[in-house]
Amino acid sequence: MSDSRRDFLKKSAILAAATAAANSGLSQMIEDEPEELIYDYVIENGDVFINRKFQKAFVGIDSYGKLKISQTPLKAQQFIDATGKIVSPGFVDILADNSSSPESTYKTFESYKVSDGVTSALQLHGGHHKAGPYYRAFSKKSHYINWGVSTKVMNIRRNQKSISSRLKIIEKNLAFGALAISHSIEYQPTPFSELLEYGKLAYKYQRPLFLHLRYSSKEKELSGVKEAIKIAKMTGCPIHIDHLNSTGGTFNMDGALKLIKEARKSGLKITTCVYPYSYWATYLSSKRFGDGWRERYGITYSDLTVVGTGERLSESRFYELRKKSGILVAVPKGTQPLSKTADLAIKEDFCLIGSDGGIEREVRANNHPRGAGCFGTAIRHFQDIGVPLEDILYKITEAPGRLLRPALMRRGKLKDGYWADIVIFDKDKISGAATMANPNQFTNGIDYVFVNGEIACKDKKLKFMSGRPIKIQAARVV
């Protein structure tokens, strides 16, 4: 519904009320009393997640897509009965991934995000190497959800040979409003001295440095965690460690968490995230499958499955497909046991939830099911092991807002004047439906997803496209 349409309906309702009052002899009372706002929507009878706890409240959405939280009834053009349901701020995916060909795939990508309750999908693992042109081009398109990108160091390093030229481009991206600096040093090994330069820029612009760590092996993974902490200590920049359950804490999660806790106690800004799956997936052509991969992960060729088709690989097929780009394979379930990885990390305040994925194609995508079902799966799984729902929701709503201030100001909470990004779901029925064999499935148990006050998804059916760009409006330099 457009703003003009909303204004027309609101004015029509007010005019009708005034006419009725005049006919009953109450026109003078209408003139003397202030007009009572009629909201576009009022959500009532739900358990509303406010200030990290559930409360009974009326949630109004005005014609500008902003929130009103009230303990008394509100007038509305449309009421939504949320009896027995959770009313939550929209979920924020800090590790969404649609960086390979977003121009042609973004609508598919966004449809599976919004159906999973995501109202803001931020590509802070990959992102884009030209933030300015990216934001300008995509701002002209309609979006189901709010969106934003980091500056993708990997692509910049491929195109620029000198460190000075790389830094100039990164700084240009940050000045334009890119949300973070992101780099994957396992996939593209980089000297520590160069990483320090990226950390210095992150500190200068007060943006996080998102890192996919250098090592994934049992013997070396904690060295990667220590390296990230060292960068934070030497530069002062905030560091976010991507998907600790698959890189950094797969075999030694207790040790990784201990290192991060000690670093935070010393004043360093370190956060991390996990996804709720016991297996990882990545491109077969990547360095992760370089020499020695079977020894590093304790698996072999036949343990690899092409996501979306279910094909199990042989040695010859492995080398055949490794020559091609864009072939995503998954390791067996249980490779990174949840009880020894994500279940431990999620108990820490500094651990968030991020998908590290996105669905790019129809009908059966060659993508990990976390791209479609991460948040429904997370809420289901972590509830099942006894994590309070309030803690889970905090990690996917308000906590990302704190990490990415000021870009997510007025988002991530249900509060007067904030943007109406809302998810209404059944806490007993919510669950991710996406599977390795068929990742292209919408999450179960979600009734409504509002984005900026519009219904973007209702009962697994896509509706309005009202997403907005998320960026730093003015560069913060220290």
Residue type, 222: L
Contact 196, 268 (CB under 8 A): no
User: Quick one: pLDDT at residue 11?
Assistant: 42
User: Quick one: pLDDT at residue 474?
Assistant: 63
Q: What is the pLDDT of residues 35-87, one digit of tens each?
A: 679 999 999 999 999 999 999 999 999 999 999 999 999 999 999 999 999 99
User: Quick one: pLDDT at residue 326?
Assistant: 85
Residues of the chain with pLDDT under 70: 1-35, 474-476
Residue 265 token pair: 């106690």
- Pairing relation of β-strands 181-184 and 146-152? parallel
Q: Measured between alpha carbons, how far is 192 from 188 in angstroms, rounded to an integer?
A: 12
User: Quick one: pLDDT at residue 167?
Assistant: 98
Residue 236 token pair: 């002062």
Residue 354 token pair: 């991020």
Element (H, E) at 108: helix 102-114
Phi first, then psi: give them for residue 61, nearest 5 degrees.
-125, 120
Which pTM value belongs to this model? 0.91
Q: Measured between alpha carbons, how far is 66 from 77 in angstroms, rounded to an integer?
A: 15
Distances in Å between the alpha carbon of 57 and those of 42, 65, 70, 171? 10, 18, 6, 44
Question: Shortest CA distance to 423 belongs to which of 217, 145, 195?
Answer: 145
User: Quick one: pLDDT at residue 363?
Assistant: 78
Query: What SS3 state is found at 92?
Result: strand
